[in-house]
Structure 1
Amino acid sequence: MEQQTINNIAEICHQQGIEKAIISPGSRNAPLTLAFARYPKIQCYSISDERSAAFISMGIAQADRKPVAIICTSGSAALNYAPAIAEAYFQEIPLVVITADRPPEWIDQWDGQTIRQENIYGKHVKKSFNIAVDLSHADAQWQTYRIINEAVLESKTGVKGPVHVNIPFREPFYPEKNENWQYDHDIKIIENIAGEKRLNENQINELQTALKEKEKIAFVLGQDNYSEEFLSTLDQTSQQLNIPIFADVISNGHSLKNAIHLPDSICMSMIKHSKAEEIPDLIISFGKSIISKNLKLFLRKNIKTQWHVRNHHAFISDPFQALSKQIEAEPISFLQHLNANFSAEFLKLWKDKNREAETKTNQFLSTQSFSEFSALNELLKKLPSNSHLHLANSLSVRYANFIGIKQDGVKIWANRGTSGIDGSTSTAVGHAVTEKNKNHFLITGDVAFFYDRNAFWHKYPYSNLKIILLNNQGGSIFRMIKGPNQQAELEEFFETEQRLDAKSLCSEFGIAHFSAHNSESFETIKEKFLKYPQSAVLEIKTDAKNNQQLFEDFKNKLIS
């Protein structure tokens, strides 16, 4: 083993912009652990559970808008990274995944902690690299440094995302007691210089000509980590040109003046029956996925033309089955070239529908007895401005989407790349540990919460994360989906009934615990929970069958 070469991997990572690394304990990765932990300019965290570690690193990378290195030992440790890597790939979050491996001669030889790690993440990483096992030759060192340069650049260039570097090690792994330890600060660093993508004059004229044929235009804002400059430009453009913005909860467009922030509620009654004046002639979309299923179905059924605008495209995505132009340009520059004037009546129609949906939602929830839906409505109204709201998948993010967010300055995060329940808490913890000057709130269901309990299993302090736990003793979203809710196996094999509560877990990890099971207990503790100066869990205990009936009544109210 050439420890100096491994040390220089940490040096290159830092000089390429990596400031933080998440390391999971192991022996085979000891040379990497020591190289990064001893490097003074990289902040390292030790997280024992690799599955949680990878999601925490994702939260850190989101918060910092910079790539994060994650390092693990060989064998199943590397496989435990896979859920977060897939999520990071589809969310376009830059991670540099460095896995230690056994030397090639021991693969398939029944040796401990030995699996087939080369290209282990398949098509869920941007690129995968394998380092030579013998680094004694100068050319092997040159190749290693070139690969590390390329890996970090690849993670943060163009369409961002995870990149995998697999490094096999032979024993010995540990340096001698008095071994010289240093880093080559003048190591070769490869720069990538890329300019902004802008449309040329002919392309602009072509688009403007096409727009003149359209009367009703709508923007669709998907999930993305948008800059304030882009959102401000979008806001101004939509007001100047009379364009509604379909912006569901994960888009972070709720504060825009022309935002249609309850599209799921509005489109519920429009899927089967919609009028010509309600249908856009063209939608122009930004970002990635939307969560509003009813909006998706409405657009798929009715829209004939979609333009999608992004700086870079990893692949062609046509979720509404109407894509006609994939425009590769800086979105702010694209918006500045829109100079037509579209139907003010169309904008008014959709804003009226949004107000009507908001009124019906408020009327319904204000008259309901205690439930997880009504309790969540109360808590969302009281979120402080300038805070981060993390939404776990299944019912949590859907409830929030139907209720909507009104406060300026509340930023929404959700793992909607693969939309799995695994890692929602860990991702929020990664954010909270990184942005300690912000208030963080996580809304999660019981299955997601207990599944990811190792998010709390580390020594790094944070006092700024409050968790709203909807505990209905199982995955009750399946009660609300036609299909599983009609099966005799619902409770055992779909809902997966469980009887845990969070009190013991909170005690184990030193987190304050609040509990509410009816209106009286909820009213007593909700303000205490929101004002509590440390991290805390508010566990809202409800009955799944009652929640199901209330949600059905709510949907009937929307279409009445």
Structure 2
Amino acid sequence: MGNKKPLTNYVRRMTRALMNAGVKSVVISPGSRSTPLAYAFASTKSLEAYMQVDERSAGFFALGLAKATGEPVVLLCTSGTAASNYFPAVTEAHYARIPLIVITADRPHELREVGAPQAIDQIQLYGNHVKYSVDFPLAEENSDVDDYIERHVQRAASVALSAPSGPIHLNVPFREPLLIDFEMETPSPTFIQRMKGIDFLDASTTQFIESVLHKTEKGLLVVGELPIGIDTELFWKFAKALNWPVLCDPLSNLRAKVPTNCMNLCIDRYDALLKSELYKGKAIPDTVIRFGPQPVSKPLSLFLKKVRPQTVVLVDESPEFRDPLGIVTHHIQSSAEAFLQINVQKEESFYARIWSRANHEATVVMENSIGSDEGAYTQMLFSHLPDESDLISGSSMPIRDVDTFFGKTDRDITIFANRGTNGIDGVVSTALGIQAARKRPTWLLIGDLSFLHDVNGLIVSRFHETDLTIVIMNNDGGGIFSYLPQAESGNHFERLFGTPTGLTFEHIAAMYDAQYASIESMEEFEQELAKEKEKNIRIIEVFTNREANVTAHRTLWNEITKRIDSIE
């Protein structure tokens, strides 16, 4: 079988270097060429190894783990097109700033580009969608290679974790034989520790921000998706001292566990409010301070782009700050926590009361609306979510319904979604990864097309326990397109955009031994939500009508507009 020592030493050093960099979880897809690392990972007791046979789904499962923990997660696959199937998740991780460490096993150099099976060009495979990429040397008895392995793994991991976080790629070639010595002890390390610095604002930046805050009479805090684990108590302490309205995207997770004394500042209905032309005239701010990416709401984006506030401060840890509207006037390159240390004390303004009053009136309309559309179903779902649970939203209509209907609450509910690229793929796998990381009851709100895209993701439930309830809004097609101008043209709309499939998912549920319910009415949905969850996976399929959904949403928005327009 040959000398196993060089290969064993190689993969053991790599494994320990990854753990020293903060890796606690690895997601492995089966394959021959990755055998040495797969064995090394699986035989390391302090590593949590997950299996997922579909690489595309594995990528999103790992993304969910990393998104939920804020820690680096390793993806491992064999050579060839297996590595190509990671690309969608790598792309999402790049734009969502998620620290994935993608390890692709490769053929040795002599088998590249000579027609060898399962050999493709894996060098720089993910291009500019990773922050760092390296092609490792082959295993050999060489102390210089030992040093190289440990330092390059640490260097790559440091890049993945440095702000802004993102994916990195390690391409690792192996020459046969591929077996390692399980009894061999892990060799002594040559690299010891990485230490991070502490973010802070310098005196001139602090002085500038304090000046802006004190002179502004009409100020808004706009908060997009925030990283998991951010100090929300610190945020609300700052917001209360500032007394500005806070427009909270659902992915900011500031709508949950809202302190009682900040309820009036938490604005959760702005998407509906900003559909009123009259209200928009009253709501124009002088200054906007934004944390995180631009929120989901299109009316908010259109509003800010049109009014172009005099001062727009963006707090973003990356030099490549996010400004899709082209309105940012000042970029503060720092963490949110560093910014929130600024000392300020202001009284509540008339401008803040305008937002608070309108937000209250919109909430009254929503709470008293009666319907049987997707909005009504999601409202009922959100009211049912238990304390200490997680909600994952699909893209397209689900995240917009979360934005519209998930109101502020004192319950501990954390919301996740893949909004790096806003794709509908990989959502089931991401949800399963988040649940695996957080170990809390988890709910996934998803459309039928998005669910179809990642049915393979359910395979992971055959290898690992989970607690996931999937609520599928089945409107037989792409519901969001019905709200866009394309819907006004009857020519080819259904075939090109509606894309009805006529598929239902009872047989999918049976294949994965999932608890299943088919819902046709609000009464049935309420009864189903009251039932106990009996299996690892639960699928609730809610049948709705796309045209009725559009009509109901627009009717609700019109009622809100009428009510807030009548405010003196």
Please state which band the TM-score falls in when normalised by the shorter chain: over 0.9
Moved more, 91-100 or 314-323: 314-323
How far 1:487 moved relative to its partner? 4.3
- Tell me the TM-score normalized by structure 2: 0.91
Q: Conserved in 1, the CA contact under 8 Å of 2:10 and 2:139?
A: no
The CA deviation string for residues 68-94 of structure 1, in whole angstroms up to 9 with x for no partner, is 111001111111111111111222221
The residue aligned with 1:337 is 342
8 A Cα contact 2:246 2:266, kept in partner: yes
Note if 1:93 corresponds to 2:98. Answer: yes
Match of 2:227 in 1: 225
Tell me, what secondary structure is at the counterpart of 1:347? helix
- From 469, 480, 483, the equivalent of 2:483 is 480
Q: How does 1:523-538 map to 2 (within 5 A)?
A: 523-528=526-531, 532=534, 534-538=536-540
Single out whichever of 388-397 and 199-208 deviates more from structure 2.
199-208
Question: Residue 474 of structure 2: which of 448, 471, 476 is its match?
Answer: 471
Instruction: Indicate which of 429, 435, 453 corresponds to 1:426.
Output: 429
Give, in angstroms, the shift of residue 268 of structure 1.
Answer: 1.4
Q: Aligned pair in 2 of structure 1 residues 308, 342: CA closer, same or farther (>3 Å)?
A: farther
Is the CA contact (8 Å cut-off) linking 1:20 and 1:44 kept in structure 2? yes
Offset at residue 191 of structure 1 (A): 2.5
Q: 1:485 to 1:449 in 2, by over 3 A?
A: farther
Pair 1:180–1:476, CA change in 2 (3 A): closer
Do 1:215 and 1:343's aligned partners in 2 also have CA atoms closer than 8 Å?
no
**2:312 is aligned with what amino acid?**
Q
Task: Decide which of 259, 271, 277 is 1:264's aligned counterpart.
Answer: 271
Task: Compute the TM-score of the two structures, normalised by the length of structure 1.
Answer: 0.93
Q: Distance in 2 between matches of 1:278 and 1:435?
A: 39
Alignment of 1:197-212 (within 5 A): 197-212=199-214
For 2:44, the equivalent position in structure 1 comes to 39
Report the Cα distance in structure 2 between the residues aligned to 1:461 and 1:193, rounded to whole angstroms.
34
1:98 is paired with a residue of what secondary structure?
Answer: strand
CA contact (8 A) 1:248 1:263 kept: no
Which residue does 1:145 correspond to in 2? 150
Whole-angstrom CA distance in 2 between matches of 1:294 and 1:135: 59
User: Are the equivalent residues in 1 in contact too, given 2:515–2:535 (CA < 8 A)?
Assistant: no
Task: Establish whether residue 3 from structure 1 lines up as the match of residue 4 from structure 2.
Answer: no
**Paired residues, what number?**
548
Indicate how the Cα distance of structure 1 residues 534 and 104 shifts in structure 2: closer, same or farther if over 3 A, else same. Answer: closer
- Change in Cα spacing, 1:382 to 1:524, as seen in structure 2 (3 Å) is closer
Quickly say closer, same or farther: Cα 1:389–1:308, change in 2 above 3 A. same
Within the candidate set 59, 62, 81, 1:57 is matched to 62
Contact 1:478/1:485, CA 8 A, preserved across alignment:
no
Q: Where does residue 306 of structure 1 map in the other structure?
A: 312
TM superposition shift of 1:463: 4.5
**2:561 maps to which residue?**
559
Q: Answer yes or no: is the 8 Å Cα contact 1:98–1:167 preserved in 2.
A: yes
Is 1:24–2:29 an aligned residue pair? yes
Cα offset for 1:48? Answer: 0.4
Match of 2:121 in 1: 116
Q: Aligned residue for 2:566?
A: none
Once the two structures are TM-superposed, the CA of residue 183 in structure 1 deviates from its matched residue by 4.2
Q: What is the letter of the counterpart of residue 25 of structure 1? A: P
The amino acid that maps onto 1:363 is: N
2:389 touches 2:442 (CA, 8 Å); kept in 1?
A: yes
Output one character per residue of 1:334-387: Cα deviation in whole Å (capped at 9) or x when no partner: 2232425266111100111111221222233x2x2x222212211111111111
Paired AA for residue 61 in structure 2: I
Please list the CA deviations of residues 368-421 of structure 1 after superposition, one character each: whole Å capped at 9, or x if unmatched.
2x2222122111111111110100111111111111233321111011111101
Q: Which residue of the partner structure matches residue 326 of structure 1? A: 331
CA deviation string 1:22-67 (max 9, x = no partner): 1101111111111211222212112100011111111112233321
Structure 2 partner of 1:215: 217
Please list, as runs of the form range in 1=range in 2, the aligned pairs for 1:457-468 lying within 5 A after superposition: 457-458=459-460, 459-468=462-471
Q: Which runs of 5+ in 1 are unaligned?
A: none
Match among 157, 166, 172 for residue 162 of structure 2: 157
Q: CA deviation at 1:124?
A: 1.3
- 1:392 and 1:162 map into 2 onto residues whose CA distance is 22
User: Does the CA contact (< 8 Å) of 2:486 and 2:493 recur in 1?
Assistant: no
- Return the letter of the residue paired with 1:456: L
Equivalent residue number for residue 451 of structure 1? 453
Counterpart AA for 2:268:
H
> Counterparts of 1:440 and 1:326 in 2: how far apart (Å)?
36
Q: Could you tell me which residue of structure 2 aligns to residue 254 of structure 1?
A: 255
Q: Which residue identity lines up with residue 159 of structure 1 in the other structure?
A: P
Report if the CA contact (8 A) 2:217-2:349 is conserved: no
- State the match for 1:495 in structure 2: 498
Secondary structure at the residue paired with 2:329?
strand
Cα pair 1:395 1:477 within 8 Å, conserved: yes
Deviation at 1:428, TM superposition (A): 0.8
Q: 1:189 aligns with which of 166, 188, 191?
A: 191
Residue 3 of structure 2: aligned partner: none
2:377 corresponds, among 370, 375, 381, to: 375
Q: Distance in 1 between matches of 2:123 and 2:300?
A: 41
Identity %: 30
- Aligned mates of 1:237, 1:523 — CA distance in 2: 39
User: For residues 39 and 298 of structure 1, what CA distance do their matches in structure 2 show?
Assistant: 53
Q: Write out aligned runs for 1:538-553 (5 A).
A: 538-553=540-555
Residues 1:3 and 1:284: Cα distance change in structure 2 (over 3 Å):
same
CA distance in 2, matches of 1:100, 1:556: 56
Q: Distance in 2 between matches of 1:14 and 1:122?
A: 26
How far does residue 273 in structure 1 lie from its aligned partner after superposition?
A: 7.3
For 2:98 and 2:542, locate their aligned partners in 1 and report how far apart those are by CA, in whole Å: 32
Question: Using the alignment, how far apart are the partners of 2:194 and 2:526 within structure 1?
Answer: 56
- Label 1:273 to 1:385 Cα distance change in 2 as closer, same or farther (>3 A): closer
Paired amino acid for 1:298: F
SS in 2 for 1:150: helix
- Provide the C-alpha distance between the structure 1 equivalents of 2:87 and 2:177, rounded to a whole number of angstroms: 28
Amino acid of the structure 1 residue aligned with 2:226: D
- 1:125 partner amino acid: V
CA distance in 2 between counterparts of 1:132 and 1:461 reads 34
SS of 2:27's equivalent in the other structure is strand
Distance 1:279 1:454, change over 3 A: same
Residues 197, 328 of structure 1: 8 Å contact kept? no
RMSD: 2.1
